[in-house]
Structure 1
């Protein structure tokens, strides 16, 4: 079962057309077709080896499909260059705890891309970093080494990094692995708030079936192999107006109260 096109302002943000991915002669993703529409919240559930992380890594350009095409905002992945439109929070276990960077340096690194890799950041860009630190309630941790933080604090840092460019698409790969249950609950309340009040499309891999179904519904909208896609649409006309996350940082910060 595939999603149908929606009218109005809701564009296709991610288009996955007949995508295959094989690793060491094993097919991980087999002919996947899926569309993510503007302001969707997509939850991916599947067993280990189902291809959840592989799919996200293909979408952000870290892996190439064996066959098929992925388009971002209507443009083929092979020619897509506007990566600042996408925020990506990888799995927590991808972090080297000895990585010698401060919280501020990690968050600010989200401002660098191929377009400005060797340019000095402007005052306006540095102010964005301050806004992101403030919104995630980690401004007091700005000078701490990332490896010294708790799991919940680290995830706030990576979310701040992903949000710093006011992304249109936010991709989260098991963002609460290794975090205690209370912090997990707070994190999910926060991202639900972000989906409901800001102009962001979400794709999230999670192992928490109860959380996914409580927000996205009991039934998967589509299944492909061992992958299940749960989707919540936010497609009413009044939701079509653009909102600037940067100017809503106070509101977002208030939603972070549950994490402290």
Structure 2
């Protein structure tokens, strides 16, 4: 059971963003995608999620074409940035329930079962006490955990995150990745984009080094300084860990 990418290339206009990507992500992995800005990291996950059309190559999930798989399977997704009207009168529970909207018939309402699932997701992210809090009253770290609960509420075996640490302070980042680590140990396959190499080295089982081309997909401890420099360029400064 895996995500399998073969010969994947993608262009925006005349710009080649991804070139001939081959990789496999086995179910149960905790994988981080790293690379400089503009390397194609977000494009890769948006292709996997079916948010962009595949132009060249193929993506299969658990042996099935990814679009066919996605039609009848949820995939948890925490985007890089979401714009919210902080004055909008929605609670944290309302935000999590949005993750179940696809289950509603046209004109349908959320049931008691839906609300119980949403509360369970908030419990998982240690934000159940925020259920009735308005969106505008949440800190950046609290909002990120609520959005993670929304990604989890569908109970997908896969969770994809795009720079989840972007709006979280340093202690919050450590706590957030510890939570992801626990989710992975409980059986969830996690794919995250991140620039925090030190934190990734503590929690991820493998790294995908991407800069238009795939430079490396290997166990975290096998990714060394030379691979990192080839991915990011010679000017990269390595901190805290001898990669």
Tell me the TM-score normalised to structure 1 length. 0.76
Structure 1: segments with no counterpart, 5+ residues: 1-10, 234-260
> Which stretches in structure 2 are left out of the alignment for 5+ residues?
221-243
Q: Show the 5 A alignment for 1:108-119.
A: 108-113=97-102, 116=105, 118-119=107-108
Q: Decide which of 191, 199, 205 is 2:180's aligned counterpart.
A: 191
**Distance change (3 Å), C-alpha of 1:208 and 1:177:** same
Instruction: Give me the CA root mean square deviation.
Output: 2.4
Alignment length (residue pairs)? 218
TM-score by length of 2: 0.80
Please say if residues 31 and 207 of structure 2, whose CA atoms lie closer than 8 Å, have aligned partners that are also in contact.
no
Q: How far, CA to CA, are the matches of 2:118 and 2:150 in structure 1?
A: 8
- 2:168 alignment partner, one of 168, 174, 179: 179
Q: What are the residue-to-residue correspondences of 1:50-199 with 2, within 5 Å?
A: 50-80=39-69, 81-84=71-74, 86-91=75-80, 93-98=81-86, 100=88, 101-113=90-102, 116=105, 118-196=107-185, 198-199=186-187
Deviation at 1:128, TM superposition (A): 0.6
Flag the 1:128–1:46 CA change in 2: closer, same or farther, 3 A. Answer: same
Kept in 2: contact 1:44–1:229 (CA 8 A): no
Quote the offset at 1:134 in angstroms. Answer: 2.1
Of 126-135 and 199-208, deviating more is 126-135
Whether the 8 Å CA contact 1:212–1:230 is kept in 2: the answer is no
- 1:203: how far off? 0.4
2:188 equivalent in structure 1: 200
Secondary structure at 1:176 match in 2: coil
Alpha-carbon distance in 1 for matches of 2:122, 2:210: 37
1:215 aligns with 2:203: yes
Q: CA deviation at 1:23?
A: 0.8
Deviation at 1:123, TM superposition (A): 2.2
Q: Is the 8 A contact 1:18 1:33 kept in 2?
A: yes
Paired with 2:135 and 2:216, the residues of 1 have a C-alpha distance of 33
CA contact (8 A) 1:58 1:64 kept: yes
